[in-house]
Amino acid sequence: YSDNEITLADIHDINGTLSRDELDLFVEFLLKKDVVEFIKRIELYDNEGKNLVKIVQEVVDRLKDCILYLNVPSLLVEQDFFYEKIASEIDENLIYLYIKAFSTLINEMKTSNNNKILFEIEFLKNINIQFENVNVIQNEKKEQKKCI
């Protein structure tokens, strides 16, 4: 932080937060259930000294904006292609699931000694819940076909 110039990158470094592009990439890994990349990013952010509680809050805020875009796009002031991309590729119920789970996680992380593990476990737990729900639905459909 020299030459009497403070950049946006400097602010993110000082606050332990992510740039918009990095946050969007991270959220995309989350929503596409890319376990390997998501876990690698958490490891990277932790090693860089990023504030994982703030990152989870940023993720929740970004997901909330995605929901707003899907339901009331006129509320969002700026044009953002990220929302358009997410809206065309991701199930809205998945976004709600993560908002609820990560909102609860933020409070847990504030009193924890190992936020990285909590974050990783919450992500993995939610992926498993989604797979279980898909399996239940598929099994119900099979049972309905047998009854017909």
For the stretch 22-80, pLDDT in tens is 999 999 999 888 999 999 999 999 999 999 999 999 999 999 988 988 888 787 777 77
Inter-CA distances, 89 with 36, 43, 52, Å: 20, 26, 26
Region class of 49: left (phi > 0), else alpha (psi between -120 and 50), else beta: left
Q: What local confidence, expressed as pLDDT, does residue 102 receive?
A: 95
pTM, 2 dp: 0.80
Give percent of the chain with pLDDT exceeding 70. 83
The Cβ of residue 63 has, within 10 Å, a number of other Cβ atoms equal to 23
Candidates 47, 45, 13, 42; CA nearest to 124 is 42
The torsion of the CA quartet 89, 53, 124, 133, rounded to 10 degrees, works out to -60
Q: In the structure, what pLDDT confidence band is assigned to residue 146 with cuts at 50, 70 and 90?
A: low
Q: What local confidence, expressed as pLDDT, does residue 109 receive?
A: 95
Give percent of the chain with pLDDT exceeding 90. 47
Inter-CA distances, 119 with 40, 55, 66, 84, 137, Å: 12, 10, 21, 27, 27
At a CB cut-off of 8 Å and minimum separation 6, what does 42 contact? 52, 116, 119, 120, 123
Give the whole-angstrom CA distance, residue 24 versus residue 44. 16
Q: What local confidence, expressed as pLDDT, does residue 134 receive?
A: 44
Candidates 91, 41, 42; CA nearest to 66 is 91
